Structure 1
Amino acid sequence: MSNAFTFTKAAFSKLEPPAQGKRTYYRDTRQDGLIVQHTSTGQLTFYVYRWVEGKPERIRLAKYPDITIDQARRKAQEVIGAIAQGKNPNQERRAVRDEMTFAELFEKYLNEHSKLHKRTWQEDEAQYKRYLEDGWKNKKLRTIRRQDVQKLHTTLGEENGTYTANRTLALLSSIFNKAIDWGWEGANPTQGVKKFKERSRDRFLQADELPRFFESLAKEENRTIRDYVLISLLTGARKTNVLSMKWSDVNLVTKTWYLSQTKNDTSQTIPLVDAAVEILELRKEEAESEWVFPGIGKTGHLVEPKKAWAKILERAKLSNLRIHDLRRSLGSWQAATGASLSIIGKSLNHKNVNTTAIYARLNIDPVRAAMQTAVAAMLDAGAPKPETEEAEQSEDNPEMVLPASEEQSSPPNAANA
């Protein structure tokens, strides 16, 4: 294909990527000055090519198909008009981007990208404050090098674990990619930094751990946190969904909780087992907020209670257990008590192309039944021993009532769960 042709979707689809590490430029015959850069990965990016102040300049517009060909042509006309008035768009961009601090870039990223396109934007904000703000907020973008990213990634891996290190690296990569989209001419400093290999996590509450866990949870003085942890365990819902749970989505008559949108970009109706309904009914009687678990922060609802969770684990003498593991605990106990993989996938809203059709045909009642069986088994395993039950109930928080199961199920063997 000639390096000059009329840009169309069909023509773009026929372009062969250049060799590894190479770039090819094509010129649009309909709009003077509009070119497209084609990389070996297949990425197409629009530029305006013009001589400005006696030297050639490539002024970046945007990636294709982030903008259409017609939009690129209109943007090219605007840039060419600005050049005709004596302006140099690249110089203006460089001046702004080179002087921007990382904190300023993150603020722009959060407000102009993350909040608009990511339901998990609050996790981005929390990650920035936890791992990036102290050491990076005042750094000028041009001073951040790959060595800085590598050092941060290694340190986080050693001190906070490989999962945290890899998620932070992914966030940094996304931030710098957006900076480039917005006109920053620097290179993404995360390029070449390799992620740590991650092992699939299989941690869940074992039968011998449940008594200590429930006993410790009963001693938690903050009822909102205590109920939040219990609902997380009894529903198997994702952490962000439980934290932002609204009364308008809870139906205590049908015993369901409706999520209009989940991490998988699908809606979900979560069956509520009896123990969960009992907790929610008590909270509903005293509710003064739209949130099931209200908080004092700007979100209006509870934010992940890390300190309280750490104390619960310390009292229970449990280690290496995350709040997200409560979700895995429900699924594991469902499997151990005989639930099919389809039922488990339905209750936990796992998205799998091979089982989506099966999930869609499942009725909600068997899902609730399987969850009820698993919850009954967990509560039974975690209940105080008969000879100490009365004493322990009087010593622990009397408000904490864990409904006894009607069907006594034997807890699974921890080794086989």
Structure 2
Amino acid sequence: MPVLDLNHAVLRRIDRYRPETRAVSLFDRTLKGFMLELRSTGTGTWYYRYRDQGRRIRLLRLGRLGELSVTKARQAARRFDALVEAGENPRESLSPAQRSVTFREFVETRYFPHVELHNRSWPSTRSQVTRHLMPRFGDRRLDAIRRADILAMQHETRLAGMAVGTCNRLLIHMRTIFNAAIRWELLPEDCNPTKGVKALPGAVSRERFLDAVEVRRLFDALDRSRSPQLARVVRMLLYTGARKREILDARWEQVDFEHRLLTVPRSKSGKVRYIALSDAALEILRATPRQPGVPWVFPNPRTKKPIVSIHYGWDRVRREVGMPDLRIHDLRHSFASFLVNAGHSLYEVQALLGHQSPKMTMRYAHLAPATLLTAANSLAGELSKKPY
């Protein structure tokens, strides 16, 4: 929480304060509550921070860095500070238009930084919100979005051919965004336009499992691929059952060759997770070249940073082998199906996948009818023995 003199001189060298990730709050040394929230993208927002009569911290948005000068931002902060000193609520002095931000401003300055901090799947969230929701709602004020707009979104996206599951995910994103705005008191309690809007029926829970022949075809295509990194990543996903980002974000310091473990510092559950490394997985890691000064196991060859997406290379390979519907996450499902069909218990599968609840693992119970039948027959055999 840097404290400095927010003035023109500081703004001329503002890049030195720019964070590598997330955002940093720069507080003014002389005017209490006057601050600049600076993001890794170089964008920023002026705020006035104060405590209300209930001693809760409140933020008033003054304007964007670059659109509002530091002089005018400071003048606005002084006016609000005077109201607080007089025992008044500065928010009540704002017009309705001033109290509400646009959908784009709220999502980019408040919601995305929050999701990045608390949700490991935030790149997917950012992609879906940016691609599908920003074009539709970006320039609308939060308090001007109505239930009719949400229903229209459902109708039009489905009519355009979007899958039911995707349409429902967009509804979930909108509901979560507005709940956050209400929780942070930017909107009143009853201003969530998704309230009462039901998910579209007909969403199919689809799970795809590879068989041994398909795995061989996939591996042959990967060996012909122009990207050796893609081949390593896909094999690691199938050999470990790990989630995509758990492999793409892996660092060498997290690989324990002696105990055959890959440590995930913060898994999807928010806890540390340990991924067992089989002989095949260890063979890939030992054959993967290490690059001096690069901590990532599978870095982007060009940027030397974690790979953001493998979609295009993956899409080319899956189409080449005639499996255009095969998703990266299906490799995790296939890992589980091979284990269950080899006779391993659902408890073992749960531990290897890192599921917090056995309910998540039970979806694989139907994959081993022969194994379950053998177990049932063994019990029947024991019960039918004659007592001595």
What TM bracket, shorter-length normalisation? 0.5 to 0.7
CA contact (8 A) 1:255 1:277 kept: yes
C-alpha distance in 2, partners of 1:251/1:222?
Answer: 26
C-alpha distance in 2, partners of 1:142/1:350?
Answer: 39
C-alpha distance in 2, partners of 1:240/1:157?
Answer: 29
Kindly provide the amino acid, as one letter, of the partner of residue 139 in structure 1.
R
Shift of 1:233: 1.0
C-alpha distance in 2, partners of 1:88/1:285?
Answer: 56
CA contact (8 A) 2:112 2:126 kept: no
- Unaligned ranges ≥5, structure 1: 1-69, 357-410
Shift of 1:262: 1.2
- Relative to structure 1, the CA distance from residue 222 to residue 183 in structure 2 (aligned partners, 3 Å threshold; closer, same or farther) is same
- Relative to structure 1, the CA distance from residue 97 to residue 265 in structure 2 (aligned partners, 3 Å threshold; closer, same or farther) is same
C-alpha distance in 2, partners of 1:326/1:236?
Answer: 7
Is residue 2:131 matched to residue 1:130? yes
CA contact (8 A) 2:175 2:194 kept: yes
Cα deviation, 1:54-96, whole Å, max 9, x if unaligned, reads xxxxxxxxxxxxxxxx997324999997495666523427333
- Relative to structure 1, the CA distance from residue 136 to residue 236 in structure 2 (aligned partners, 3 Å threshold; closer, same or farther) is same
Q: How does 1:286-305 map to 2 (within 5 A)?
A: 286=291, 288-295=293-300, 300-305=305-310
**Count, aligned residues:** 290
- Relative to structure 1, the CA distance from residue 220 to residue 261 in structure 2 (aligned partners, 3 Å threshold; closer, same or farther) is same
Structure 2 equivalent of residue 106 of structure 1: 107
Kindly provide the amino acid, as one letter, of the partner of residue 198 in structure 2.
K
Structure 2 equivalent of residue 57 of structure 1: none
- Relative to structure 1, the CA distance from residue 125 to residue 355 in structure 2 (aligned partners, 3 Å threshold; closer, same or farther) is closer
Structure 1 equivalent of residue 21 of structure 2: none
Is residue 2:121 matched to residue 1:140? no
Percent identity of equivalent pairs:
30
- Relative to structure 1, the CA distance from residue 313 to residue 118 in structure 2 (aligned partners, 3 Å threshold; closer, same or farther) is same
Shift of 1:212: 2.3
CA contact (8 A) 1:157 1:164 kept: no
Structure 1 equivalent of residue 249 of structure 2: 244
Query: Residue 73 of structure 1: SS of its match in structure 2?
Result: coil
Query: Residue 290 of structure 1: SS of its match in structure 2?
Result: coil
- Unaligned ranges ≥5, structure 2: 1-50, 59-79, 362-367, 374-388
Shift of 1:133: 2.7
Q: Whose relative contact order is higher, 1 or 2, with alpha carbons under 8 Å and at least 6 apart?
A: 1
Q: TM-score, length-normalised on structure 1?
A: 0.61
1:74 to 45, 52, 55: 55
Is residue 2:245 matched to residue 1:233? no
Structure 1 equivalent of residue 178 of structure 2: 176
CA contact (8 A) 1:313 1:319 kept: yes
C-alpha distance in 2, partners of 1:335/1:319?
Answer: 25
Is residue 2:318 matched to residue 1:337? no
Kindly provide the amino acid, as one letter, of the partner of residue 172 in structure 1.
M
Give the CA RMSD over aligned residues. 3.6
Structure 2 equivalent of residue 31 of structure 1: none
Query: Residue 171 of structure 2: SS of its match in structure 1?
Result: helix
- Relative to structure 1, the CA distance from residue 286 to residue 88 in structure 2 (aligned partners, 3 Å threshold; closer, same or farther) is closer
Shift of 1:156: 4.2
Structure 2 equivalent of residue 213 of structure 1: 218
Deviates more, 1:173-182 or 1:317-326: 173-182
- Relative to structure 1, the CA distance from residue 155 to residue 355 in structure 2 (aligned partners, 3 Å threshold; closer, same or farther) is closer
Is residue 2:194 matched to residue 1:193? no
Shift of 1:324: 0.6
Shift of 1:169: 1.6
Kindly provide the amino acid, as one letter, of the partner of residue 138 in structure 2.
K
